[in-house]
């Protein structure tokens, strides 16, 4: 079982936030690959299905972003899989808007969802980092990630989410580098300084 977990906050008021782009990615994959309607399990909203013949579980933890690791650990324990079978999708302020990077292991770099996941299952899980840009000032980061994407940002966000779903067969087969390359081919984005926002800040 491949476990794909998107970070986000569960209440409706957070739905369009940059911090919830992980949830948006789960929704895009569910739509793109015909996953069954979601169920409440593992302190999450879940959906089961297949991607390129590989069984997969999509998780949207309902524990709030900073405690996401607890929900992921529940699913990992139930299915008796390893952290290498877990892919976490999350917003990344250190990548320019629209950029996408796969990574395995490493530190949390200030991301409390990653810190929580590492505390519960170790750091050997795979990470799908979705660039949202940086507000340019460390003091503004919390407000920035908990604010909605602007309408103009949907011009890069919607194609990126479609690419994340469309290229998912590579991810399911464990070909993370090819997955990253295909996402960027389908939804090209400039290699800009993440602090130079496309579409403006709040």
pLDDT in tens, 13-62: 999 999 999 999 999 999 999 998 889 999 999 999 999 999 999 999 99
| Burial of 112 per CB tally in 10 Å (0-12, 13-18, 19+) | middle
How many Å apart are CA 100 and CA 92, to the nearest integer? Answer: 9
pLDDT (average), residues 88-103: 96
Q: E strands, 52-125, where? A: 54-61, 86-92, 100-104
Give 197's pLDDT tier (boundaries 50, 70, 90): low
Tell me the pLDDT of the chain averaged across its residues: 94
Secondary structure class of 103 (helix, strand, coil): strand
Domain 2-186 carries which CATH code? 3.40.50.1470
pLDDT of residue 54: 97
Q: Which residues are catalytic?
A: 19
pLDDT (average), residues 67-83: 97
Strands 86-92, 54-61: parallel, antiparallel or unpaired by DSSP? Answer: unpaired
Please say if the pLDDT value at position 200 is more than 60.
no
How many Å apart are CA 29 and CA 198, to the nearest integer? Answer: 25
Token readout for 33 is 């690959």
Where do the structural domains in the chain lie, given as residue ranges?
Answer: 2-186
């Amino acid at each position: 079982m491949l476990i794909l977990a998107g970070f986000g906050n569960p209440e409706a008021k957070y739905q369009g936030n940059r911090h919830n782009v992980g949830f948006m990615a789960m929704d895009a994959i569910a739509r793109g690959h015909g996953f069954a309607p979601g169920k409440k399990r593992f302190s999450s909203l879940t959906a089961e299905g297949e991607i390129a013949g590989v069984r997969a579980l999509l998780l949207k933890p309902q524990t709030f972003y900073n405690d996401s690791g607890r929900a992921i650990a529940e699913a990992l324990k139930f299915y008796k899989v390893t952290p290498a079978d877990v892919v976490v999708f999350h917003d990344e302020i250190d990548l320019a808007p629209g950029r996408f990077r796969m990574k395995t292991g490493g530190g949390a770099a200030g991301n409390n969802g990653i810190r929580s996941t590492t505390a519960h299952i170790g750091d050997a899980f795979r990470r799908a980092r979705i660039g949202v840009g940086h507000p340019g000032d460390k003091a503004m980061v919390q407000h920035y990630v908990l604010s909605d994407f602007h309408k103009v940002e949907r011009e890069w966000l919607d194609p990126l989410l479609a690419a994340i779903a469309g290229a998912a067969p590579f991810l399911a087969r464990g070909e993370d580098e090819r997955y990253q390359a295909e996402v960027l081919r389908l939804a090209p984005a400039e290699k800009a300084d993440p602090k130079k926002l496309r579409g403006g800040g709040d």
